[in-house]
Amino acid sequence: MFLAKVITTKYPNIPIPEATAEQQKPIIDLVDEILALKQANSTADTSEIERKIDEAVYALYSLSAEEIAVIENAKSI
């Protein structure tokens, strides 16, 4: 939570949701999966797992389909 406190102190208008342990667990599990795959094979394709993390974060922020589209389009630039 330290990063969230730094961001909200420096940029108070950026909404940072406080995720519960229940909300954090699936994201942590996916990150752990990526780390394990990359440790075994540094060139492993983790894009599908990364997509799942993105979807979990979008849900955490309750983003609309339009907001998600803006983010996805910006990622491809």
Query: In this predicted model, what pLDDT tens digit does every residue of 28-73 receive, in sequence order?
Result: 999 999 999 999 999 999 999 999 999 999 999 999 999 999 999 9
Is residue 76 packed enough to be buried (19+ CB in 10 Å), middle (13-18) or exposed (0-12)?
A: exposed
Cβ atoms 53, 46 nearer than 8 A: no
In whole angstroms, how far apart are CA 18 and each of 30, 42, 77? 19, 32, 29
The pLDDT score that the predictor gives to residue 8 is 58
What is the pTM assigned to this prediction? Answer: 0.78
Q: What is the mean pLDDT of the chain?
A: 88
Which ranges in 16-64 belong to alpha helices (H)?
A: 21-40, 47-60
